[in-house]
């Protein structure tokens, strides 16, 4: 029969495959030292392993920590967004950050699209004020509303992209740091 401690550590090593070898070896060596010390204190190894839980589940804590701290340190929007999207179904912070980023990107996209349409059709595209609402985009009958921006829509669309980029990046940095601390 195989040694339960060695079997658990082998399973942990296998479950940590996503980590670089030196880090994986270091973690396994540290947990081995912990278990050895518990054994020397007279505690049963079975009890110590039960308290650590399944090796696969235990490994997840390290993998999550690596992914989140890596994304937070790099501050690359792609890495941060990817980390957020993968957790959106089980974290309110990740879901909120994802929806905020989508809303910001959507608003910037709409502003740019309207500005592009305005180049070819200046009479129907812009920011409009109707009787009770504001509307950005293309309108069928310009006589029913007042266009507010004119050619200012071009610099303002560029500004909207820059603002969405900065705000979105800020939201992602905050969310990844928060998740790293609470996951």
CB atoms within 10 A of CB 109: 14
Our CB check for another protein shows the closer of 69 and 145 to be 69
CA quadruple 129, 135, 137, 140: dihedral sign? negative
DSSP designation for 138 = E
Our CB check for another protein shows the closer of 37 and 121 to be 37
Name, in order, each residue with C-beta under 8 angstroms of 138's C-beta and a sequence gap of 6 or more. 114, 117, 121, 124, 125
Our CB check for another protein shows the closer of 62 and 109 to be 62
* Nearest partner of 11 among 51, 57, 47, judged by Cα: 57
User: In angstroms, what is the minimal distance from the CB of 89 to another protein?
Assistant: 18
Our CB check for another protein shows the closer of 94 and 125 to be 94
User: In angstroms, what is the minimal distance from the CB of 181 to another protein?
Assistant: 7
User: In angstroms, what is the minimal distance from the CB of 180 to another protein?
Assistant: 6
User: In angstroms, what is the minimal distance from the CB of 182 to another protein?
Assistant: 6
Long-range contacts of 153-157 (CB under 8 A, 24+ apart): 153/111, 153/114, 153/115, 153/118, 153/125, 153/126, 153/127, 154/115, 154/118, 156/111, 157/108, 157/111, 157/112, 157/114, 157/115
In the complex, the residues that contact another protein under the rule CB under 8 A are: 23, 26-27, 29-31, 33-34, 36-38, 48, 51-53, 58, 61-62, 64-66, 68-70, 72-73, 180-182
CB 114 within 8 A of CB 153: yes
Our CB check for another protein shows the closer of 145 and 178 to be 178
User: In angstroms, what is the minimal distance from the CB of 30 to another protein?
Assistant: 5
């Amino acid at each position: 029969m195989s040694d339960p401690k060695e079997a658990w550590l082998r399973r942990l090593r296998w479950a940590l495959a996503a980590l670089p070898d030196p880090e994986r070896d270091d973690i396994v060596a540290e947990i081995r030292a912990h278990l050895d010390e518990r054994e020397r204190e007279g505690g049963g190894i079975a009890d110590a392993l039960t308290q650590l839980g399944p090796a696969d589940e235990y490994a997840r804590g390290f993998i999550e920590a690596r992914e989140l701290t890596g994304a937070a340190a790099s501050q690359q929007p792609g890495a941060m967004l990817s980390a957020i999207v993968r957790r959106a179904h089980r974290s309110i912070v990740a879901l909120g950050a994802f929806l905020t980023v989508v809303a910001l990107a959507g608003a910037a996209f709409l502003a740019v699209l309207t500005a592009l349409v305005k180049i070819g059709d200046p009479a129907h595209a812009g920011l409009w004020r109707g009787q009770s609402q504001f509307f950005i985009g293309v309108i069928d009958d310009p006589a029913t509303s007042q266009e507010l921006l004119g050619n200012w829509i071009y610099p303002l669309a560029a500004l909207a992209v820059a603002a969405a980029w900065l705000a979105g990046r800020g939201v992602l940095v905050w969310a990844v740091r928060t998740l790293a601390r609470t996951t």
